[in-house]
């Protein structure tokens, strides 16, 4: 093995050309490792979370397609950003009187057959996004299985591996409603062949206790070990709650971004995700200057959200969406971004790649921290309607009866009881930190039934290809 001294001798003897080669390789590796996560599919172009939008996100070259997951009354897993249907469907028109006391329509109160009668509407109808005419275009809420089958089909015809980035939404809410969404999601993933750290998937959740449960209890039962992403919320959100003395209390994330918190996480997650405003303030100052380098030193990736190109979504310390991407990818040093505009982000990274005319000087590639940036109000080349972001209801609907896609069921394994009252700070794990590497997705596999005994091992799987 060549040691560090040998390398110096080699570089000197080679006249420096090896040093140049290594530098170019390092720059290429840095740019090449950056990923684009299609936030709620190609939501900036074709509404969020529907099958055509997924196809578009794939065609645009996204590395990963995000699926937010919630459950229906009849235990189906659907792709919907929040547990309520109001914002993106015509549920209020089609099912008047089915709302709860808070005036919201919860997916968990509807069967999949009912939800399939709804059609999607653009939540930002006058923003310059997809025109929401609601006349003949009937986009519907997909099931998780439908989306996975679409992706598997496109992987075959496009001859490429397509990453998925599912998010288990609000396990505490589903638990309160008597449903184990995490088990439902991981079983579907297992059925479709996602089972190891090498598979092109990041499984994300805001709930630290639930991620720990998935890693320590569900994965061993199903013989899985996927890359996990810990999402970090502020302490005022609804994403994570625990039942304490009969009351649902917001999770306190204060421990999680410290070096020791990250070290604890690194025992079982592959990376972290957070709102970009947690990393950079409105003046462009880094709020957690050590976070990205600490995460990298522990082998974790950092994927902030959500990057949008509408004027009001571009922070004042940059002038354009592309400057925002430049700032986060190459100054803050994050490994990927969730963006509604996946196509624009893919184009940005392509232009930014070594050899491109837009490639910056090598010295600009570093991950050093920036000083405060001038606060310049951005003016983007968008349509004049771009500033409106208030969701509005759409007009009428023609019910659509869609067939259900049923995957082979997996027998219920013995899952330990959930622990909503458990400690918020996970205990250290003896499991090695997962690596962020990506390799092609294997063929879908289905778990034959009945297979999982009380001891749960081993599970025999069959390839579908
Ligand atoms: O999951 C990452 C990001 O999507 C979190 O934000 O609210 O869009 O799910 P949200
Ligand atoms: Ca999400």
Q: Within its chain, how far is the Cα of 8 from the centroid?
A: 42
What's the angle, vertex CA 42, arms to CA 38 and CA 48, rounded to 5? 105
Atom of ligand 1 nearest to the CA of 39: 4
**Closest ligand 1 atom to Cα of 68:** 9
Query: Does residue 442 have a pLDDT over 60?
Result: no
- For 275, the 3-state DSSP assignment is strand
**Average pLDDT of the residues in 351-368:** 61
Q: What is the mean pLDDT of residues 3-9?
A: 41
Which one-letter DSSP state was computed for residue 328? I
For ligand 1, whether the C-beta of 273 sits within 6 Å is: yes
- Provide CB contacts within 8 A for 89, sequence distance 6+: 115, 118, 119, 120, 121, 141
- Rounded to 10°, the helix 51-59/144-158 angle is 30
Question: 147: exposed, middle or buried (C-beta count within 10 Å: 0-12, 13-18, 19+)?
Answer: buried
Residue 209 near residue 216, CB atoms below 8 Å: no
pLDDT of res. 4: 39
Confidence of residue 206 (pLDDT cuts 50, 70, 90): very high
Task: Characterize 176-189 residue by residue with b for buried, 16 or more Cβ atoms within 10 angstroms of its Cβ, and e for exposed.
Answer: eeebbbbbbbbbbb
pLDDT of 416 reads: 36
Q: What is the pLDDT of residue 433?
A: 35
Ligand 1 atom 3: residue of nearest CA: 305
Q: In Å, how far from its chain's centre is CA 274?
A: 11
Cβ 194 under 6 angstroms from ligand 1:
no
Taking the centre of ligand 1 as the mean of its atom positions, its distance from the CA of residue 82, in whole angstroms, is 10
Q: Decide if pLDDT at 12 tops 60.
A: no
Percent of the chain residues topping a pLDDT of 70: 69
Q: Give the position, in ligand 1's atom list, of the atom nearest the Cα of 273.
A: 2
The predicted model gives 177-201 an average pLDDT of: 98
| Ligand 1 binding pocket mutation candidate from 185, 306, 307, 342 (most atoms within 8 A of CB) | 306
Our answer on whether the CB atom of 231 is closer than 6 Å to any ligand 1 atom is: yes
CA of 12 to the centre of ligand 1 (A): 50
- pLDDT at position 32, please? 58
Catalytic residues: 39, 81
For residue 200, report the distance from its CA to the centre of ligand 1, in Å.
19
**Rounded Cα gap, residues 337 and 328, in angstroms:** 8
Residues 393/70/113/410 CA torsion (nearest 10 deg): 170
- Tokens representing residue 264 in the block: 């604890």
439 confidence band (pLDDT: 50, 70, 90): very low
CATH 3.20.20.140 fits 34-431, yes or no: no
Task: State whether the beta carbon of 39 lies less than 6 angstroms from ligand 1.
Answer: yes
C-alpha 108 – ligand 1 centre gap (Å): 20
**CA atoms within 13 Å, Cβ hemisphere of 42:** 19
DSSP 86-153: TTTB-HHHHSTT---TTS--BGGGS-HHHHTT--B--SSTTTTSS----SS----PPBHHHHHHHHHH
Residues 240-295: pLDDT tens digits?
Answer: 998 888 888 999 999 999 999 999 999 999 999 999 999 999 999 999 999 999 99
**DSSP annotation string for 205-229:** ES-HHHHHHIIIIIHHHHT---EEE
**Per-residue model confidence (pLDDT) at position 242:** 85
Q: Is 64 in contact with 151 (CB distance < 8 Å)?
A: no
Closest CA to 44 of 314, 280, 315: 314
Which protein residue has the closest C-alpha to ligand 1 atom 5? 305
Distances (CA, A) of 234 to 166, 176, 257, 423: 21, 22, 11, 18
DSSP state of 331: I
> What is the end-to-end Cα distance of the chain in Å, rounded?
41
**What's the pTM value of the predicted model, to 2 decimals?**
0.74
Contacts of 263 (CB under 8 A, 6+ apart): 298
Strand partners, 70: 78
- What is the band of 127 on the pLDDT scale with cuts at 50, 70, 90? confident
Q: Where are the beta strands (DSSP E) in 162-319?
A: 163-168, 202-205, 227-232, 241-244, 247-250, 271-274, 301-302
Nearest to 300 by CA among 265, 326, 261, 257: 265
Report whether residue 340 contacts ligand 1, using a CB cutoff of 6 Å. Answer: no
- Kindly give the distance from the C-alpha atom of residue 305 to the centroid of ligand 1, in angstroms, as a whole number: 7
Q: Is 462 helix (H, G, I), strand (E, B) or coil?
A: strand
Mutate to test the pocket of ligand 1, among 207, 231, 239, 313 (most ligand atoms within 8 A of CB): 231
Pocket test for ligand 1, best of 44, 68, 341 (most atoms within 8 A of CB): 68
Give the integer Cα–Cα distance in Å for 407 and 325. 39
Mean pLDDT for the stretch of residues 37-51: 97
Intervals of CATH 3.20.20.190 along the chain: 34-431
Using a 6 Å cutoff on CB, does residue 305 contact ligand 1? yes
- Does the beta carbon of 202 lie inside 6 Å of ligand 1? no
Q: Quick one: which atom of ligand 1 is closest to the CA of 165?
A: 1
Q: What phi and psi, each to the nearest 5 degrees, are found at residue 464?
A: -95, -10
């Amino acid at each position: 093995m060549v040691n560090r001294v040998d390398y110096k001798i080699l570089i000197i003897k080679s006249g420096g050309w090896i040093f140049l080669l290594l530098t170019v390789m390092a720059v290429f590796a840095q740019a090449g490792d950056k990923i684009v996560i299609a936030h709620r599919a190609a939501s900036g172009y074709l509404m969020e979370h529907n099958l055509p939008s997924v196809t578009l996100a794939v065609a645009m070259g996204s590395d990963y397609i995000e699926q937010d997951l919630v459950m229906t009354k009849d235990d189906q897993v659907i792709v919907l950003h929040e547990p309520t249907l109001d914002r993106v469907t015509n549920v209020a028109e089609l099912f008047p009187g089915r709302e709860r006391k808070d005036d919201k329509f919860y997916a968990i109160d509807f069967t999949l057959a009912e939800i399939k009668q709804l059609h999607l509407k653009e939540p930002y109808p006058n923003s310059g996004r997809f025109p929401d005419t609601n006349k003949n275009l009937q986009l519907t809420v997909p099931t998780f299985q439908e989306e996975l089958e679409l992706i598997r089909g496109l992987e075959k015809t496009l001859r490429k591996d397509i990453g998925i980035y599912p998010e288990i939404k609000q396990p505490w809410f589903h638990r309160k409603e008597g449903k184990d969404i995490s088990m439902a999601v991981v079983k579907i993933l297992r059925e479709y062949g996602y089972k190891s750290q090498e598979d092109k998937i990041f499984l994300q959740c805001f709930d630290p206790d639930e991620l720990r449960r998935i890693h320590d209890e569900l994965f061993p039962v199903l013989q899985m070990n996927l890359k996990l992403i810990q999402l970090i919320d502020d302490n005022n959100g609804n994403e994570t709650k625990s039942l304490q003395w009969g009351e649902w209390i917001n999770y306190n994330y204060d421990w999680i971004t410290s070096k020791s918190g990250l070290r604890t996480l690194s025992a079982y997650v592959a990376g972290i995700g957070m709102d970009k405003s947690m990393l950079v303030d409105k003046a462009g100052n880094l709020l957690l200057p050590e976070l990205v380098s600490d995460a990298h030193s522990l082998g974790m990736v950092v994927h902030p959200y959500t990057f949008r190109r509408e004027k009001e979504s571009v922070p004042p310390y940059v002038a354009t969406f592309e400057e925002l991407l430049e700032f986060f990818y190459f100054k803050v040093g994050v490994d990927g971004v969730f963006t509604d505009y996946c196509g624009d982000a893919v184009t940005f990274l392509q232009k930014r790649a070594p050899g491109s005319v837009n490639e910056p000087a090598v010295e600009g590639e570093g991950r050093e921290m920036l000083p405060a940036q001038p606060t310049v109000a951005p003016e983007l080349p968008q349509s004049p309607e771009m500033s409106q972001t208030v969701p509005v209801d759409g007009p009428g609907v023609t019910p659509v009866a869609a067939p259900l896609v049923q995957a082979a069921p997996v027998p219920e394994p013995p899952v330990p009881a959930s622990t909503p009252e458990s400690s918020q700070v996970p205990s250290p794990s003896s499991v090695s930190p997962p690596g962020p590497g990506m390799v092609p997705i294997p063929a879908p596999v289905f778990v034959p039934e009945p297979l999982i005994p009380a001891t749960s091992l081993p599970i025999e799987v069959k390839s579908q290809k």
